[in-house]
Amino acid sequence: MSIEYLGLSEINGPLIVLEGVQDAAFEEIVEITVEGKEKKLGRIVEIYDDKAVIQVFEGTENMSLKNTHTKLTGHPMEIALSTSMLGRTFNGIGQPIDRLGPVVSDVKRNINGLPLNPVTREYPRNYINTGISAIDGLTTLIRGQKLPIFSGNGLPHDQLAAQIVKQASLGENSDEEFAIVFAAMGVKYDVAEFFRRTFEESGVSEHVAMFLNLANDPVVERLITPKVALTLAEYLAFDKGMHILVILTDMTSFAEAMREVSSSKGEIPSRKGFPGYLYSELATIYERAGIVKGVNGSVTQIPILTMPNDDITHPIPDLTGYITEGQIVLDRVMHGQAIYPPINVLPSLSRLMKDGIGEGYTRADHQDVANQLFSSYAKVGQARALASVIGEDELSPIDKKYLKFGIAFEKEYVGQGPNENRTIEQTLDLGWKLLGLLPKEELDRIDTKILDKYYVAAE
Amino acid sequence: MTKTGIIYGINGPVVYLRGNTGFKMSEMVYVGKEKLVGEVINLTKDTTTIQVFEETTGIKPGEEVTATGDAISVTLGPGILNNIFDGIERPLGEIAKEGGAYINRGVSVDSLDTTKLWDVHITVSVGQEVNGGTIIAEVPETTAITHKSMVPPNVSGHILSVVTDGQYTITDTIAVVQLEDGTELNLSLAQKWPIRIPRPTLKRYPAAKPLVTGQRILDTLFPIAKGGTAAIPGGFGTGKTMTQHQIAKWSDADIIIYIGCGERGNEMTQVLEDFSELVDPKSGNPLMDRTTLIANTSNMPVAAREASIYTGITLAEYYRDMGYDVAIMADSTSRWAEALRELSGRLEEMPAEEGFPAYLASRLSAFYERAGMMENLNGTEGSVSIIGAVSPQGGDFSEPVTQNTKRFVRCFWGLDKSLAYARHFPAIHWLTSYSEYLGDLAPWYKDNVSTNFVDYRNQLLALLNQESSLMEIVKLIGSDVLPDEQKLVLEIAKVIRLGFLQQNAFHAEDTCVPMEKQCKMMEVILYLYSKSKALVTMGMPMSILKENNIFERVIAIKYDVANHELEKFDQYKKDIDNFYNKVLETNA
């Protein structure tokens, strides 16, 4: 029988302080009973002697210094895991909220996970066909990659993520075991509902585990949600050999929750009030993607984050970009021109692309076409800047061609229907068609042989 | 009698002990029941503060901390090369064998394989006077590198006994030295050295030889000397890691120490896979044979990230002492600085700029000053070159880590976002980058490459600078109104940018280019410029010059002329002459 501690010595936002505790361990989980009925979970985040600082997941409402019983559980945060969790819905700390009863399993894992040994990782090389040209052609998604979507409020990142899920999971490889783990942190009810409906409509609900921490749910829970979700993902991928796609939305809320807790702890802030360990914390989440040698499964992550004020240099997107293997950046101006998906390809990047495309994977000309499209589209920007100063009429003939190419590229290549699923050949051929708008000697990134084989000048 | 202390407080990677424990600063300690490795970082009469190199989850107040008596140090001996370690020199391969796919806590493995028998050739004899640095044995560590075991620094005396040539492990005594005070000291193939203290040398030489990397923009425009320091700052996606990989692969250093400090796990896996397959162009051996990886990925404990930089440089200094040229890739020093910040925050120190501790600058300078071309204690000459990536927040070079690094390095390779967006790689911007070594290295270029090399290089850079100021005008009024002479400058600058500065890391020939070819390429480009300029001065418009495809052909030289076919360059010069004559004939 474990000891219960009566009362508290301090309550400060989501943190409580308990004095006179014995045998408490760092990061241990405690159970708190408020007024004999309401149960809450908490985690020890600091210990000094017999004084423990505890972070309460469900919020500290109704708690007073006298009405609580606290019990140490003797272990860090753990979650029971089972394949039967697919098709079910949980709250932010992994408790079922779909009234289907508790998860039955003897497998329990620490949600903090452990770092994967770089020696046992396998370098990801298999590409995922998402059917979206701007992604497949220019920022190819690789199985085992972590590729975030950098977005802003009001941009269609949810639709894009849903389209990726639909088209990637139902592609030619759909006979393989795939599943989706969806973690919502501080998102609106409508967003969670949108994803639920999309999964249902595309008939994948049975393969989805949803972890929902909505905007009005306790803030501290958010710190746990992605870890719980990734623990399940790792279990399914590396113990059960499944291919898991993890959607994490919205990482901005996660980071802001961390800032809130950090400031209640009275920690010294670094940039924009975020704690100094923001990078390490984000890394422990993003680095839980990958492939392990000798194991069938994989964990692919698509975190979504809304850039505050569309600022890509804000600490959250900035640090994320340094950890993830590329990024897909959505652009408000393109959205304003009714281009869907409004992907700004220039700052977008997939670091693993180079090893997963080309001969044997997609097509031999893939890398060259992608480089040329990037390079030519970068020149479109220069031509547009010049046109805004001297007027379009005064541009040199070649600059005018670039303007034409730019418009066609945005409308036809980047733009596509929300249900349009293009094959990689279609995407690459479309690239050649657009490059045909430019004279051959402008195409300086393509190997001469490939150029001769594919280049056809437009009329 | 080992000293111990009792834990009373835990905050992330920082653990507090009560009372005056008698521990020493920087001493290595074992924390708690799981014996996690830690280091003493602060001492007062009432508390001892420890940073722990592993996750502290589950540690309880009341658990014991034991001191080891030694400063946090690394084991130096054969077996370091062709290996991958974590931030405190624990071999990840061994950890994987013991613990599977994940890195468990409290793993106790030897840094180097203590059971492997090495072929040892003894190089000292009984009675011989030895000092710190004297080479006592030679071991073929890999096909590429002969490992030289040395008398530890600060030891001198004469050899009492020595074993014969044969097979020994790193723990076997191979020689006994009688010190000056009469005590005897057993020497083995391995020795220990504290990571935070530079290994002593006799003297420092000025920079005189370049570290040839095979990367045109580096070797030609902004060279780094052997024993030099360079910083590669750039926002995410601009190609820091790619540049580091290229240098690690192709530079003419003998040994490469690659420190993945707080970076991606997949990147380390990639280096490990690539370097095992790739072959060193000079020796024909696998690249891993001259490489050591130190991997402390971003999700591994933060305190070990701080230590990984020091572990790396200590290994480098050890090989320098054998007389090798060592190059360190530190990717990324910003993550190291952030580890300092994180720990400083946990210690509740007063922050300076942007939350970084006030000692950031002094730590950075202490690190970069450990580079240099040295005369070692044993009289050999060796060098440690440091190439540090910097990941400035928001890609803004005015942040503290970039600014402080700039003060202590002599080579600055600034990566540029807009170049990276246009997929111009390496995205090193020629206007923001600089190298202070050029003057020091000019004599070497003159003797070993060409007397004109530095002159060509300066002409190239001058053209690029002219282009940049002309572009200011073009941005406002377009290029059509420029006089032909200036249009030619733009055209030639384009040839330089596309044909010379851009280099394709995935192209078999272009990935590494010898100095001679770099020089010839410059020569042809400048020859084309002088001939075209002559035509333009005679009144030929640029539109006529452009009708000929000679500009495109010169751009394609990097692909069309293989690295060993330097005689083809003469043909290009002839072609340029033909082009000149033809334009004159048809338009006279």
Per-residue pLDDT, A1: 46
Q: How many CB atoms are closer than 10 A to CB B123?
A: 15
Per-residue pLDDT, B531: 95
Question: Which residue from A322, A351, A386 is facing B475, i.e. has the nearest CB?
Answer: A386
Burial of B196 (0-12, 13-18, 19+ CB in 10 A): middle
Q: In this structure, are A273 and A402 located in the same domain?
A: no
Q: How many CB atoms are closer than 10 A to CB B374?
A: 23
Backbone angles phi, psi at A52, to 5 degrees: -115, 135
Q: In this structure, are B243 and B323 located in the same domain?
A: yes
> Vertex A217, ends A213 and A218: CA angle to 5°?
105
Tokens 């989706």 sit on residue? A180
Q: Do A375 and B423 touch (CB under 8 A)?
A: yes
Q: In this structure, are A150 and A55 located in the same domain?
A: no
Q: What is the dihedral of CA B368, B371, B376, B380, to 10 degrees?
A: 180
Question: Which residue from A112, A123, A375 is facing B270, i.e. has the nearest CB?
Answer: A123
* Span B358-379, pLDDT tens digits: 999 999 999 999 999 999 999 9
Residue B186 sits at the chain A interface (C-beta within 8 Å): no
CATH number at residue A25: 2.40.30.20
Q: In this structure, are B185 and B210 located in the same domain?
A: no
Q: In this structure, are B217 and B299 located in the same domain?
A: yes
Q: Do A118 and B344 touch (CB under 8 A)?
A: no
Is residue B278 within 8 Å of residue B271, measured between CB atoms?
no
Q: B112 forms bridges with which residues in the sheet? A: none
Q: In this structure, are A20 and A105 located in the same domain?
A: no
Residues tagged in the binding site annotation of B for ATP:
234-241
**A23: in domain:** yes
Classify each residue of A75-93 as buried b or exposed e, where b means 16 or more C-beta atoms within 10 Å of its C-beta: ebbbbebbbebbbbbbbbb
Residue B398 sits at the chain A interface (C-beta within 8 Å): no
Interface test with B, best of A18, A26, A139, A295 (most B CBs within 10 A): A26
Tokens of B181: 């005070």
Question: Which residue from B56, B103, B236 is facing A114, i.e. has the nearest CB?
Answer: B103
First CA to last CA distance, chain B? 97
* Span B493-540, pLDDT tens digits: 999 999 999 999 888 889 999 999 999 999 999 999 999 999 999 999
Q: Return the amino acid letter for B440.
A: D
**A97: in domain:** yes
**B76: in domain:** no
Percentage helix, strand, coil for chain B under 3-state DSSP, each rounded to 5: 35, 25, 40
Per-residue pLDDT, A126: 87
Is residue A209 within 8 Å of residue A266, measured between CB atoms?
no
Q: B137 forms bridges with which residues in the sheet? A: B122, B149
Q: In this structure, are A189 and A262 located in the same domain?
A: yes
Min Cα separation A458/chain B (Å): 21
Q: In this structure, are B157 and B217 located in the same domain?
A: no
Domain that holds residue A31: 4-76
Residue B235: its chain A contacts at CB < 8 A? 321
Backbone angles phi, psi at A277, to 5 degrees: -95, 15
Q: In this structure, are B138 and B282 located in the same domain?
A: no
Residue-level pLDDT, tens digit, chain A, 459 residues: 478 888 899 998 889 999 988 888 888 999 999 988 888 899 998 888 889 999 998 888 888 998 899 999 888 889 999 999 999 999 999 999 999 989 988 899 999 888 899 999 999 988 888 999 999 999 999 999 999 999 999 999 999 999 998 888 655 555 568 899 999 999 999 999 999 999 998 888 888 999 999 999 988 899 999 999 999 999 999 999 999 999 999 999 999 999 998 888 888 888 888 998 899 899 999 999 999 999 989 999 999 999 999 999 999 999 999 999 999 999 999 999 999 999 999 999 999 998 889 888 889 999 999 999 999 999 999 899 989 988 888 888 899 999 999 999 999 999 999 999 999 999 999 999 999 999 988 888 888 889 999 999 987
Min Cα separation A100/chain B (Å): 33
Boundary of a domain, candidates B71, B102, B121: B71
How many domains in chain B? 4
Q: In this structure, are B30 and B144 located in the same domain?
A: no
**B442: in domain:** no
Among B72, B67, B71, smallest CA distance to B2 is for B67
Cα–Cα distance for residue pair A296/A239, rounded to 1 Å: 9
**B166: in domain:** yes
Interface test with A, best of B331, B421, B476, B549 (most A CBs within 10 A): B421
Q: In this structure, are A119 and A71 located in the same domain?
A: no
Cα–Cα distance for residue pair B64/B236, rounded to 1 Å: 43
Q: Return the amino acid letter for B508.
A: A
Residue B395 sits at the chain A interface (C-beta within 8 Å): yes
Per-residue pLDDT, A59: 83
Residue A367 sits at the chain B interface (C-beta within 8 Å): yes
Q: In this structure, are A196 and A273 located in the same domain?
A: yes
* Span B124-158, pLDDT tens digits: 999 999 999 999 999 999 988 999 999 999 899 99
First CA to last CA distance, chain A? 84
Given a cut of 80, whether residue B588 has pLDDT beyond it is no
Residue A453 sits at the chain B interface (C-beta within 8 Å): no
How many domains in chain A? 3
Q: In this structure, are B226 and B369 located in the same domain?
A: yes
**A459: in domain:** no
Min Cα separation B450/chain A (Å): 30
Chain B residues 486-505 with CB within 8 Å of chain A = 498
Residue A450 sits at the chain B interface (C-beta within 8 Å): no
Cα–Cα distance for residue pair B71/B75, rounded to 1 Å: 12
How many pairs of residues across A and B have Cβ atoms under 8 Å apart?
220
Q: How many helices (H) and strands (E) does chain A have?
A: 13, 21
Boundary of a domain, candidates A30, A46, A76: A76
pTM: 0.92
Q: Do B9 and A47 touch (CB under 8 A)?
A: yes
Number of residues that this document lists for chain B = 588
Q: In this structure, are A404 and A267 located in the same domain?
A: no
Residue B482 sits at the chain A interface (C-beta within 8 Å): no
Q: Do A321 and B236 touch (CB under 8 A)?
A: yes
Residue A25: its chain B contacts at CB < 8 A? 57-60
Q: Do A290 and B84 touch (CB under 8 A)?
A: no
Cα–Cα distance for residue pair B377/B470, rounded to 1 Å: 54
**B82: in domain:** no
Residue B355 sits at the chain A interface (C-beta within 8 Å): yes
Per-residue pLDDT, B480: 82
Residue B300: its chain A contacts at CB < 8 A? 115
Residue A170 sits at the chain B interface (C-beta within 8 Å): no
* Span B7-53, pLDDT tens digits: 989 988 899 998 888 899 889 999 999 889 999 998 988 899 999 99
Nearest C-alpha in B relative to A48: B9
Domain that holds residue B252: 203-436
Is residue A127 within 8 Å of residue A140, measured between CB atoms?
yes
* Span B165-210, pLDDT tens digits: 999 999 999 999 999 898 999 999 999 999 999 999 999 999 999 9
**B93: in domain:** no
Backbone angles phi, psi at B422, to 5 degrees: -85, 10
Question: Which residue from B270, B393, B478 is facing A318, i.e. has the nearest CB?
Answer: B393
Nearest C-alpha in B relative to A347: B421
Residue B278: its chain A contacts at CB < 8 A? none
Q: In this structure, are A135 and A72 located in the same domain?
A: no
Percent of chain B scoring above 90 in pLDDT: 71
Average pLDDT over chain B, rounded to whole? 92
Q: At B98, is the pLDDT very low, low, confident or very high (cuts 50, 70, 90)?
A: confident
* Span B207-239, pLDDT tens digits: 999 999 999 999 999 999 999 999 999 988 898
Chain A residues 390-409 with CB within 8 Å of chain B = 390, 394-396, 399
Q: In this structure, are B308 and B237 located in the same domain?
A: yes
**A26: in domain:** yes
Q: What is the dihedral of CA A155, A161, A166, A169, to 10 degrees?
A: 160
CATH number at residue B240: 3.40.50.300
Per-residue pLDDT, A173: 52
Tokens of B359: 């000692």
The helix/strand/coil state of A291 is strand
Q: Do A313 and B270 touch (CB under 8 A)?
A: no
Q: In this structure, are B254 and B280 located in the same domain?
A: yes
Among B404, B304, B402, B407, smallest CA distance to B415 is for B402
Chain B residues 552-581 with CB within 8 Å of chain A = 552, 555-556, 559
CATH number at residue B554: 1.10.1140.10
CATH number at residue A243: 3.40.50.12240
Boundary of a domain, candidates B436, B460, B483: B436
Q: How far is CA B246 from the centre of its chain?
A: 11
Question: Which residue from A115, A312, A315 is facing B299, i.e. has the nearest CB?
Answer: A115
Q: Do A280 and B299 touch (CB under 8 A)?
A: yes
CATH number at residue B60: 2.40.30.20
DSSP 8-class letter at B351:
B
Q: Do B299 and A26 touch (CB under 8 A)?
A: no
What are the start-end ranges of the E strands in B427-531?
Answer: 434-435
Q: Do B478 and A395 touch (CB under 8 A)?
A: yes
Boundary of a domain, candidates A76, A100, A124: A76
Residue A442 sits at the chain B interface (C-beta within 8 Å): no
Boundary of a domain, candidates B189, B214, B232: B189
Per-residue pLDDT, A446: 87
Residues tagged in the binding site annotation of B:
234-241
